[in-house]
Amino acid sequence: MLKIKRVVAVSILVIIPLAILAQNNTNSPYTRYGYGELADRSFGAGRAMGGLGYGMRSNKQINPLNPASYTSIDSLTFIFDFGVAGQLSWFDDGINKEKHINGNLEYAAIEFPVHRRIALSAGMLPYSYVGYDFGTNTTTSEGLSYIERFTGKGGLNEAYAGLSIEIWKKRLSVGSNASYLFGQIKHNRVLAPDVTNATQTARYQTLKVNDIKLNFGIQYTQQFSANESFTLGFAFSPAKKLNTTSSDIIQNGSESDTTYVNQTFDTPNSIGAGISYVKQNKLTLGVDFLNETWGEARFFDEKNEFKNRIRLATGAEFIPDYQNRVFLSRVRYRAGMHYSNSYLRIYGKSYNEYGASVGLGLPLFDNRSFMNLSFEYVKIKPETKALIDEQYFRFTVNYTFNERWFFKSKVN
């Protein structure tokens, strides 16, 4: 039976990343700019707690936000985690209103110990999403009418492998993720005059990324009693000049001109900090802060495309009675909130993001594995009425398979 479970887990781990590359999770017109919409990088419980992770440690969840957290795993445990998301979005430009539904397989990861103080994790998760399709009807001063259509798709993905070491028993852990960042982003713009036999003009831009990205983390835990502790965590990812290939094709009727651009694209310095309080099997409280220096990142060699981004998040988890046989008493009830500003500059303006989430951790089997449900509402508030008002409701389901793979049973 155990071997069957292992085969199933490995099979899913192979299948899901392939599905990630084929799916998208947005219809937002804002993804026309930069690298698109930055993905939520938290797993499982963190999704329902505002996206927490930097100060979180749990032997039942994988937390790639801070690789130092991997040593929290039990020395006999193997964890497999994958998530699926669906999203309902509303858009309003003051004149027109639209509604879209998206869904996709989001991430898959594994975690296991290799020593009582060393643990490994590996997986696949999204870095950004691009997906939009919209158009405008315009009339020039000369009276010529035309339709301008914008479409885009793609995004960046991240395959990571991480190592964590506990250098001070049950107190201090450090860790690092080495990630392969890859993907393709396509932007198309077609200008079609509303005149019979008129020449159509189009522009097709493609950006391909293939590079290595590093992330470092540290966590310190102070035990107050046998069941109470707090953890302080920090994570840092250095700025990176990406290895990219880009092309720009301008087509005017039957004629086209292709330019292969050797320009610079960057990711920013990213510094995250978090603190959490845990009363074992009862209560978890946490706060996170993230700062990303997107203002220094270049995009098509330009530094004025982005602005620095911050993100604040807080969340909680409550378990009524961990040992009670009544199912609802063992359910983990979660809630959280977050705020962030966008890293994008759109005609000199930007937008802020406000979100609230709730969720449930439903225990399975022997209280080690979980089905995690999270419900998140996000409001995109532009700095000017000229930008589109956006809001969405996201539903995430993730399964955390937690098994004692390294336990040797005794035979009498």
Please state, in angstroms and rounded to a whole number, the distance separating the CA atoms of residues 6 and 212. 29
Please state, in angstroms and rounded to a whole number, the distance separating the CA atoms of residues 379 and 371. 27
Please state, in angstroms and rounded to a whole number, the distance separating the CA atoms of residues 70 and 63. 7
User: pLDDT tens, 118-145?
Assistant: 999 999 999 999 999 887 777 666 667 7
User: pLDDT tens, 10-36?
Assistant: 545 544 554 444 456 678 888 999 999
Please state, in angstroms and rounded to a whole number, the distance separating the CA atoms of residues 99 and 66. 35
Residue type for 272, please? G
User: pLDDT tens, 52-79?
Assistant: 999 999 888 899 999 999 999 887 788 9
Please state, in angstroms and rounded to a whole number, the distance separating the CA atoms of residues 392 and 105. 18
> What three-state secondary structure class fits 195?
coil
Please state, in angstroms and rounded to a whole number, the distance separating the CA atoms of residues 355 and 273. 19
CATH topology of domain 2-403: Porin (2.40.160)
Q: Is the pLDDT of residue 410 over 60?
A: no
Q: Quick one: average pLDDT of 390-400?
A: 91
Structure tokens belonging to residue 366: 């022997």
pLDDT at 261: 65
Among 311, 231, 181, 211, CA closest to 63: 231
User: pLDDT tens, 339-381?
Assistant: 999 999 988 888 999 999 999 999 987 777 889 999 999 999 9
- At residue 353, φ and ψ (nearest 5 deg) are -125, 130
CB 373 within 8 A of CB 360: yes
What one-character DSSP code corresponds to residue 327? H
What one-character DSSP code corresponds to residue 199? P
Residue type for 267, please? T
What one-character DSSP code corresponds to residue 73? S
